Amino acid sequence: MRSILITGGNGGLGSGIGRYFLEKDPEAKVWLGVRSNRSTAEALEAEFPGRCALIDLEVTSKESWETAVATITETDGRLDVLVNNAGLHRDHLLATMPDEVWSSVISANLDAVFLGCRAVIRPMMGQRFGRIINISSLSAILPPLGQTNYAAAKAGVVALTQTLAKEVARAGITVNAILPGYIATEALAHMDEDAAKRAKAGIPMRRFGTPAEVASAVLFLACHDAGYVTGSALKIDGGIF
């Protein structure tokens, strides 16, 4: 059985990735990292008893990461895949951006990825196998107005991914990033109909992506056959960039 940890496990993308693993890979044991909101994750756990479990994880806490990874490796004997999916955006023009808005977004999107990668590297090196997939954003390479904090964090995730990939390649660990564009999750739920129409008009495919379309790429990067793919930054954006 392959042991897989997905952060942000209660969100639309995190739970969608978890579901995709559970449905497509009969060997997958999925751990959904959650903090407070957990109703969606609990429903997935109930649907796949014995193959899906929730684990408390505050992604900005070193201690929380160490506890979660220790629990998983003690339970399953290994940790094969980490999907760093948890994130946060709080858009604000830089000239008037409060310090806390900057630091909270950097912490949730970049510091959390650093802490997660560092926490899993040791057990993965011991196994001589590991797959790390970091969910960045199209904002890393095509940043919109008002996202200096989010775009900087997600660009940092890409640079971290590419550097770490070189550091651990000889240990049988691959590290890749995915850069989603507009994906139909709760993150887009606030958009009114006119705003959604305008957004879709700027996408060559004229539609939003689905969590399953991101999850399929994650599943590929996590598989044994993708062992020569590392340090990549794969955009999934319907052709925007």
Mean predicted confidence (pLDDT) in 66-91: 96
The pLDDT value given to residue 185: 81
Average pLDDT, the chain: 94
Residue 231 has pLDDT above 90, yes or no: yes
150 counts as catalytic? yes
Residue 191 has pLDDT above 80, yes or no: no
What does the alpha-carbon distance between residue 60 and residue 90 come to, in Å, rounded to a whole number? 16
Residue 33 contacts residue 58 (beta carbons within 8 Å): no
The pLDDT value given to residue 82: 98
Choose the catalytic residue: 20, 150, 182, 228. 150
The pLDDT value given to residue 133: 98
Query: How much of the chain exceeds pLDDT 90, in percent?
Result: 82
Residue 175 contacts residue 136 (beta carbons within 8 Å): no
The conformation of residue 193, written as its DSSP 8-state character, comes to H
Of the ranges 31-45, 48-62, 194-208, the best mean pLDDT one: 48-62
Residue 202 has pLDDT above 90, yes or no: no
Residue 60 contacts residue 82 (beta carbons within 8 Å): no
Question: Is CATH 3.40.50.720 what the domain over 2-235 is classified as, yes or no?
Answer: yes
Residue 84 has pLDDT above 90, yes or no: yes
- Report the candidate in 57, 60, 139 with the shortest Cα–Cα distance to residue 106: 60
The conformation of residue 209, written as its DSSP 8-state character, comes to B
The pLDDT value given to residue 225: 95
pLDDT in tens, 108-138: 999 999 999 999 999 999 999 999 999 999 9
The pLDDT value given to residue 186: 73
The pLDDT value given to residue 74: 97
Residue 75: half-sphere exposure toward Cβ, Cα within 13 Å: 22
Residue 189 has pLDDT above 90, yes or no: no
Mean predicted confidence (pLDDT) in 27-51: 94
